[in-house]
Structure 1
Amino acid sequence: MTSTIGALDFSPEMQQELIENTTDNLHWWYTNPDQGCHLKCTLDGRIVGVILVKKFWNLCSLFVAPGYQGQGLGRALMLAAIDQCKGKSEKQAIWLNAAPNAIPFYQAMGCISRSSSKQALPQGFSAMQFLL
């Protein structure tokens, strides 16, 4: 049995891995709040989007609730994170691994491909970067 998130199908194992990764990233931010950028977008008192950039270069989470996608919230979060990471990123860039359905979004934001020799990515994912 698989579940669809966005336009992607995930096995139960992949779902669990995504949940654990997100939980680990939030724990990292909670214990290192000054070593990264964590922003949220709220509407009517409800969180509808979040972004987390660890160490000001590792974009590890960008989520917008499905009912709010396509309204510019992801773009606004990304632009705000870029602004906060400028001058703080040791790589002078923001690195990310884009899911297949997110690649056009990141390309439109100005992200370009980068090599990812240290990490095997799931099929269809792309290692990308935004140069600061």
Structure 2
Amino acid sequence: MSAGFLTAELLSHQQKVLRLYKKALRQTIGQNGRNLLDQRYNCLLVRQRFEKNRNMSQIEAQTALADGEEECYKYTNPSPLCFPNSVGGTAYMRYPPKQDAMIDMWHPFEKAQFPHYFAVRDIRKREHLERYDKMVEEYNKKQKEGVEV
């Protein structure tokens, strides 16, 4: 069993700088509210600061990145900009996805209107159940052998 929450991703310096730039822009936009002129002006100032540090040596660039991350953390907005459909947004899960099992409850007359779809669906369900049974058998077999999964 893998621990998905423990995975760490190695980032290059360029990726770290890009993420810091995006975070700084999001904070700038969040701090300026709906004033588009101030947003644009402050975003240009952020871009200018990043462009100024473009041609640094590797050591200077790493220290500048650390200072930038510190500054970004220092000026973090207590109520950050959040998109409506993202986690924590006002419209997140407003229309939750329908459960696939609901389609199994359709009346046969309703299913008869879409014969091709339900024929393919039955095949896919059967294949899925076979793969699942096979996976469970392999897991139980490894458990009996004492192999950690």
Instruction: Report the TM-score, using the length of structure 2 for normalisation.
Output: 0.24
Compare the two structures and name the one with the higher helix fraction: 2
Q: Which has the larger radius of gyration?
A: 2
Instruction: Report the TM-score, using the length of structure 1 for normalisation.
Output: 0.27
Compare the two structures and name the one with the higher strand fraction: 1
